[in-house]
Amino acid sequence: MFVSSLSSHIYIKSMGTLLCSQELQVAISNAIKSIPEGQASGFVQQLEVDVEDSLQWIKFNPFGSDGENVTETYILNVSITYLDMQTEVLGRLLSEVYSNVLDSLTITATNSISVGNSIKNLMGTVELSFINLVQRQSGSVDEFILSVTGRRLCDYGKSETESGICIRPLSISWILVFFFRMYISCRSLYRQLISLMPPVSAVKAAKSMGSCFIVAHEGDWRERPEFMDEGYFSWIVKPSISLLDLIKFHLEDFVSSTGCPSLHYVIYIMALQRLNDLNRLIQAFEFLQRKDVNESNENWKRLILLSKQEATEMANFLLRSGKLLDHKGHLISVKNDELDDTKASYEDAWDLSVCSLNRRSLHIAIWRLLCRNIDIWCVHAAKKYLKKFLSCLFFYSIQDVKCSGEVRIQSVKGVSYQKVTMHHVSMEFLANIVSYEQSYNCATLY
């Protein structure tokens, strides 16, 4: 639908107010949870059709083939503006709804195979374009964007009329948000389904994901240890680029140049998922190494070393790329203490919605991820980053602000909706006994 009477900014803002509201998201979640388990597979099939329609809509040209009555410059300007709107709707709004639907779906041992097949088909729709980004040898952002939108990256050395209808970096960020969120939700759901499947089906499903380690027994580990895990994106294509390489060579530039908070946050979620997998691999390799103490265990040492190296780089990326607040409320880089232009506040609050993230609330979302997943990353993080984390933790926990703690908004039906602040997240962390089980971190204080 092309809305010429409204500016794209107003259109996006009005849609965002509706689709990002906690009231609607809770209502969607409750509705999905009420779907009988026997109908869950059919619902995913309907979702697949909707996702396919959304991806076709991204390629839609508002002028079609009839553009004789308007100038070429006008067509380019309006088409680029329209494409910007399309990508933001896709990445900011539709991804929020789709992820909510997938995360709320009721799954059981009874429907695990049928829903699993539907999820695989849904991923088949997504991977048609996604594969161009995550292939090990030929993957590139340019080819990925071309397959999604039919446009190439803008060549800023040329004028818009010379470059043609192209796509801007911020629009690319929204497209990446959409595909990454779909992958995160489908991957998480499919793994849950594998845990509910009969053994033979579970092994087959895990192998298709390139994640045999989630169902393998000791004999499998000893036979083919290198194939227990084939990478974060192995469900899309084998061999695939590692998540760390994708971040370093393709994504960091977009995060820094466009400043898209949602993309920054989604990358953090993927990094934590990968770290969790690496922890499981390391524990398994170390266990097998101990059992083979009287045999040649050089292979286990090599696998442990490779896994730990990747985990260390990933953990340091999480701490290095995060931006926290200094005592004046300035966003500050953990890596080199450089100040951001954005002036944030300790009174800022986040409503827990990815689509509502902005530069003022991103630091809260990142801080919450780090605090809630410390058991995943802390063992691999460099000492200097742990010191910075603990200093920030105590600093945020003693902030005396009006908005400290948890902010709740009461709905008409008496359902409470949550917002969180830096202070609340820090206090929640300190009140959690799991935090104190990471005792080795305390040594960095002395």
**Packed helices 298-321 and 383-397: angle between N→C axes, nearest 10 degrees:** 40
Same-domain check for residues 88 and 162: yes
pLDDT tens string, the chain, 446 residues long: the values are: 444 445 667 878 888 888 888 889 999 999 999 999 999 999 999 999 999 999 999 887 655 544 444 444 444 445 567 788 899 999 999 999 999 999 999 999 999 999 999 999 999 999 989 999 998 766 678 889 889 988 776 654 444 444 445 678 888 999 999 999 999 999 999 999 999 999 999 999 999 999 999 998 888 888 888 888 999 999 999 888 999 999 988 887 777 766 789 999 999 999 999 999 999 999 999 998 888 766 667 888 999 999 999 999 999 998 887 666 554 545 555 555 554 555 555 568 898 899 889 888 898 999 999 999 999 999 999 888 888 888 888 888 886 544 444 554 444 445 556 788 888 999 989 888 666 665 444 444 33
Same-domain check for residues 178 and 275: no
Same-domain check for residues 99 and 184: yes
- Its domain, for residue 152, covers 8-214+233-241
Q: Among the three residues 241, 257, 283, which one is the final residue of a domain in this structure?
A: 241
Same-domain check for residues 136 and 22: yes
Same-domain check for residues 201 and 310: no
426, part of any domain: yes
Same-domain check for residues 289 and 173: no
Same-domain check for residues 275 and 329: yes
Same-domain check for residues 421 and 336: yes
Number of domains the chain is built from: 2
Same-domain check for residues 346 and 398: yes
This prediction has a pTM of 0.87
Cα–Cα distance between 216 and 230 in angstroms, integer? Answer: 14
Which H, E and C letters describe the chain, residue by residue? CCCCCCCHHHHHHHHHHHHCCHHHHHHHHHHHHCCCHHHHHHHHHHHHHHHHHHHHHHCCCCCCCCCCCCCHHHHHHHHHHHHHHHHHHHHHHHHHHHHHHHHHCCCCCCCHHHHHHHHHHHHHHHHHHHHHHHECCCCCHHHHHHHHHCCCECCCCCCHHHHCCCECHHHHHHHHHHHHHHHHHHHHHHHHHHHHCCHHHHHHHHHHHCCHHHCCCHHHHHHCHHHCCCCCCCCCCCCECCHHHHHHHHHHHHHHHHCCHHHHHHHHHHHHHHHHHHHHHHHHHHHHHHHCCCCCCHHHHHHHHHHHHHHHHHHHHHHHHCEEECCCCEEEECCCCCEEEEECCCCCCECCCHHHCCCCCHHHHHHHHHHHCHHHHHHHCCHHHHHHHHHHHHHHHCCCCCCCCCEEEECCCCCEEEEECHHHHHHHHHCCHHHHHCHHHHHHHC
pLDDT score recorded for residue 438: 59
pLDDT tens, position by position, 301-331: 999 999 999 999 999 998 887 666 554 545 5
Same-domain check for residues 89 and 179: yes
405, part of any domain: yes
Q: Among the three residues 222, 241, 260, which one is the final residue of a domain in this structure?
A: 241
223, part of any domain: no
* End-to-end CA separation in angstroms for the chain: 61
174, part of any domain: yes
Q: Which amino acid is at 404?
A: S
Cα–Cα distance between 26 and 29 in angstroms, integer? Answer: 5
Same-domain check for residues 341 and 394: yes
425, part of any domain: yes
Q: Which amino acid is at 244?
A: L
219, part of any domain: no
pLDDT score recorded for residue 218: 85
254, part of any domain: no
Same-domain check for residues 237 and 297: no
Contact present, 272 and 314 (Cβ < 8 Å)? no
256, part of any domain: no
